[in-house]
């Protein structure tokens, strides 16, 4: 069964339709790239999937659950994790302390103890063991982003949503981020990934399939080669990158 099935999602702000009748299916084990020019509706779509905003029409199925009307907390509990563009790392705390905070149960009334072995596992998988006692404020931009991903991993997502994870990274850091995502999948730490990026080199490294959005709609969907060969994509978006 697919991990995520978005069916005809639509969201308008005032008279402006930011996401217009978008349907996407993401399979078990898949890493999906989501690309498109500025304002295409990529972040809005991620936020609809995660439940930060509610759609005007359409539905979202996560595994075998219709989550269309469920709040973020419930979607997170079911296994969705979103890595925001805006960093939520506390600079004054160490890497480990940030992760311990990330591991705290978010639901009021739940007081399960923080699982320190999970924190250790995430430090290892994100290769942050060497900087675990360093204040997060002293990290490189890339390390901070990896810490951010690590904090979300501590919520044990099965579907990991990432919005421009390599923005501001060096090329080496971007490549390293691609390796990390492949590693997460290889270790079955996540079942599926959707990643929004403008960085096409990164998209090529991580995506099994790519969805191209343009003015709120899906313009094309397929392998990177297929969408690069697509005339409509060349005219509207990728053409400008070559």
Ligand X SMILES: Nc1ncnc2c1ncn2[C@@H]1O[C@H](COP(=O)(O)OP(=O)(O)OP(=O)(O)O)[C@@H](O)[C@H]1O
Which range touches ligand X (CB under 6 A), out of 31-39, 65-73, 171-179, 182-190? Answer: 31-39
Shortest Cβ distance from residue 6 to Mg ion (Å)?
17
Shortest Cβ distance from residue 129 to Mg ion (Å)?
32
- Residue 38, binding choice from Mg ion, ligand X, none, Cβ under 5 to 8 Å by partner class: ligand X
Q: Is 129 helix (H, G, I), strand (E, B) or coil?
A: helix
Shortest Cβ distance from residue 134 to Mg ion (Å)?
30
- Give the pairing of strands 65-66 and 57-62: antiparallel
Which range touches Mg ion (CB under 5 A), out of 12-20, 39-47, 55-63, 132-140? Answer: 39-47
Q: Is 43 in the site for Mg ion (CB under 5 A)?
A: yes
Q: Is 39 in the site for ligand X (CB under 6 A)?
A: yes
Binding residues with Mg ion: total (CB under 5 A):
1
DSSP state string for 86-114: S----TTSBHHHHHHHHHS--STT--PPP
Do the beta carbons of residue 142 and residue 173 sit within 8 Å? Answer: yes
Q: Is 55 in the site for ligand X (CB under 6 A)?
A: no
- Give the pairing of strands 4-13 and 159-163: unpaired
Q: Is 36 in the site for ligand X (CB under 6 A)?
A: yes
- Which residues, in sequence order, are CB contacts of 128 under 8 Å at separation 6+? 95, 122, 143, 146, 147, 150
Pick the closer one to Mg ion by CB: 158 or 174.
174
Q: Is 42 in the site for ligand X (CB under 6 A)?
A: yes
- Which residues, in sequence order, are CB contacts of 40 under 8 Å at separation 6+? 213, 214, 215, 216
Pick the closer one to ligand X by CB: 179 or 235.
235
Sign for the pseudo-dihedral over CA of 139, 117, 156, 105: negative
Q: Would you mind telling me the total number of residues written for the chain in this entry?
A: 242
Pick the closer one to Mg ion by CB: 46 or 180.
46
Shortest Cβ distance from residue 108 to ligand X (Å)?
26
Q: Which residues bind ligand X (CB under 6 A)?
A: 13, 18, 36, 38-44
Q: Which residues bind Mg ion (CB under 5 A)?
A: 43
């Amino acid at each position: 069964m697919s991990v995520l099935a978005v069916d005809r999602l639509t969201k308008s702000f005032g008279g402006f339709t930011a996401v217009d009748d978008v349907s996407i299916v993401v399979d078990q084990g898949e890493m999906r790239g989501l690309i498109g020019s500025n304002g295409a509706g990529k972040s809005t779509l991620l936020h609809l999937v995660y439940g930060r905003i509610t759609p005007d029409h359409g539905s979202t199925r996560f595994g075998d659950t219709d989550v269309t009307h469920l709040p973020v907390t419930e979607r997170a509990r079911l296994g969705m994790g979103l890595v925001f563009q805006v960093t939520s790392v506390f600079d004054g705390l160490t890497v480990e302390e940030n992760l311990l905070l990330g591991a705290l149960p978010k639901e009021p009334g739940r007081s399960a103890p923080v699982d320190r072995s999970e924190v250790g596992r995430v430090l290892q998988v994100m290769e942050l063991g060497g900087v675990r006692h360093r204040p997060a404020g002293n990290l490189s931009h890339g390390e901070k982003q990896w810490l951010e991903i690590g904090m979300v991993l501590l919520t044990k997502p099965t579907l990991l949503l990432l919005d421009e994870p390599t923005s501001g990274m060096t090329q080496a850091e971007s490549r390293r981020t691609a390796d990390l995502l492949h590693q997460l999948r290889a270790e079955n730490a996540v079942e599926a990934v959707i990643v929004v990026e403008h960085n096409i080199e990164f998209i090529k490294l991580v995506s099994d399939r790519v969805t191209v959005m343009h003015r709120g709609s899906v313009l094309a969907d397929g392998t990177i080669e297929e969408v690069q060969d697509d005339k409509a994509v060349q005219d509207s978006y990728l053409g400008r990158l070559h």
